[in-house]
Amino acid sequence: MSYSFFMENKWILPLFVSLIITLLSLAAAAKPALPPVFIFGDSTADVGTNNFLPHSMARADFPPNGIDFPGGPNPTGRFSNGLNSADFLARLFGYKRSPSPFLSFKYSSLQKKMFNGINFASGGSGLLDITGRTMLTLMKFGTGNIPLGVSFRNQQKHVISLTDQMHQFSSVKNNLTTLMGVKPTEKYLKGSLIFISIGSNDLFAYYHSKSSIPKEDFLCSLELAYENHLKTLYDLGARKFGIISVAPIGCCPSQKIFNATEGCLEELNEYAIAFHLKLEALLCKLSTEYEDFMYSLGNSYEMTINVIQNPLLFNFTEVESACCGSGKLNAESFCKQGSNLCSDRNQYLFWDRFHPSQAASKLAAITLFSGGQPFVSPVNFYQLAMA
Ligand SMILES: *[C@@H]1O[C@H](CO)[C@@H](O)[C@H](O)[C@H]1NC(C)=O
Ligand SMILES: *[C@@H]1O[C@H](CO)[C@@H](O)[C@H](O)[C@H]1NC(C)=O
Ligand SMILES: *[C@@H]1O[C@H](CO)[C@@H](O)[C@H](O)[C@H]1NC(C)=O
């Protein structure tokens, strides 16, 4: 399975040359300081993975994305005016920002870097491998109501599915084992933090494809997929899981424009709540099944709805429309050059029609790191790291 995966992906092979270099520098830099951080998921955590997929339309590597990036405007591929939650989480753990995308690892850029982790997240991906393809179909034949752009060319990779992200992580583990040996690799992975932020695209695709699959069956299939991915990571040696559930996605500007009163799409929000409950039950089960399985579950729904209901408490003045876009709620088109752009970007909850602003991402990361119930449980991400 891995073999054909690598053969099919010509960008993977040169990558390993650079990984070897990276891993060697890891082996050399013996002092364990910060916990290594491995990040999986969709556009909420993508820090440039899709820039390496020429046929992906779920990309943000053009202005005005990145307009507030630290050090000056820089469209890195993040779906944000600056950093995203993956960056702020990494920062709270002592790093400058998120580790680089797996696909970016290059000989030259890595010599100086310590091996602190990798970001595998890819915009447009879902728990189910078919999520990207569903959206493709919707775009071709559907309502035009597509959450994230996807390529028309089915043959080309337009997203790194969560399954592919697992394959990539597995290859990293193999490389670590070759370089450090079995025991040190085990120890290294045991102390690593695994962050996963995924699920929104599955719910969007299900909702907008008007699937005939009953809601409960669909949610169970998501839970099962999550279980399989988590077991894969556990079997590879990961033990500490920081899981971020789905926000009230019916309140995204892109969805509100389909409500005549511009309120939230309640059905999508109900999916998000139901998804969280499933996730809670799943994680509880896994932690009893596997004694050393540790987790922290962030309740994105509660966190975000709290801000939407009390914006001023969090210094937001605009929680309805997107900062960058056009049309109704500034949400009828993607954020691109020439879009309407708000000036008070720190006061906007939404950067574009789907994604939180840098300010909102920062708030979310702080809550995950140091918050308590009902926003993050049974422990927060800091306590998870210390456990
Ligand atoms: C790293 O893993 C890849 C794929 O599993 C493999 O081709 C490569 O030889 C490995 N490198 C080392 C140093 O183990
Ligand atoms: C549209 O928004 C209103 C609140 O403004 C809400 O009561 C209603 O249920 C929403 N409609 C849908 C289809 O979600
Ligand atoms: C809101 O802004 C005030 C004044 O700048 C600041 O003291 C407060 O900490 C901010 N609150 C949040 C939640 O960021």
Q: Write the DSSP assignment of 346-362 as a string of letters.
A: GGEEESSSSSB-HHHHH
Q: What is the pLDDT of residue 305?
A: 98
Closest Cα to atom 3 of ligand 3: 315
Tell me whether residue 16 is in a domain: no
> How does pLDDT run across 231-257, given as a tens digit for each residue?
999 999 999 999 999 999 999 999 999
Tell me whether residue 176 is in a domain: yes
Domain count, the chain: 1
| Residues having CB within 6 Å of any atom of ligand 3 | 314-315
| Its pTM surpasses 0.75 | yes
Of all atoms in ligand 3, which is nearest to the CA of residue 313? 13
Tell me whether residue 4 is in a domain: no
Going by DSSP bridges, is the β-strand pair 376-377/294-298 parallel, antiparallel, or unpaired?
antiparallel
> How does pLDDT run across 339-356, given as a tens digit for each residue?
999 999 999 999 999 999
- From the CA of 243, how far away is ligand 3's center (Å)? 27
Range of the domain at 236: 32-386
Tell me whether residue 234 is in a domain: yes
Three-class SS state of 307: helix
Supply angle C-alpha 349, 354, 359, rounded to 5. 30
Tell me whether residue 352 is in a domain: yes
Tell me whether residue 10 is in a domain: no
> How does pLDDT run across 162-211, given as a tens digit for each residue?
999 999 999 889 888 888 899 999 999 999 999 999 999 999 999 998 88
Q: What CATH number did the domain enclosing 360 receive?
A: 3.40.50.1110
- From the CA of 312, how far away is ligand 3's center (Å)? 9
- Ligand 1 mutation target, pool 171, 173, 176, 177, most atoms within 8 A of CB: 171
User: For residue 117, which phi and psi values (nearest 5 degrees)?
Assistant: 140, 180
Q: Which residues of the chain have pLDDT under 70?
A: 1-32, 106-114, 133-157
Tell me whether residue 25 is in a domain: no
- From the CA of 322, how far away is ligand 3's center (Å)? 22
The tokens 């801000």 sit on which residue? 307
Of all atoms in ligand 2, which is nearest to the CA of residue 268? 14
User: SS3 letters for 11-46?
Assistant: CHHHHHHHHHHHHHHHHHCCCCCCCCEEEEECCCCC
Tell me the C-alpha to C-alpha distance, in Å, between residue 358 and each of 16, 83, 93, 243, 365: 32, 6, 18, 20, 10
DSSP for residue 251:
G
382 lines ligand 1 (CB under 6 A): no
Largest CA distance in the chain: 60
Tell me whether residue 306 is in a domain: yes
Closest Cα to atom 2 of ligand 2: 263
What DSSP assignment string belongs to 100-158? PBGGG--HHHHTT----EEE---TT--SSTHHHHHHHHHHHHS-S--SS---S-TTS--
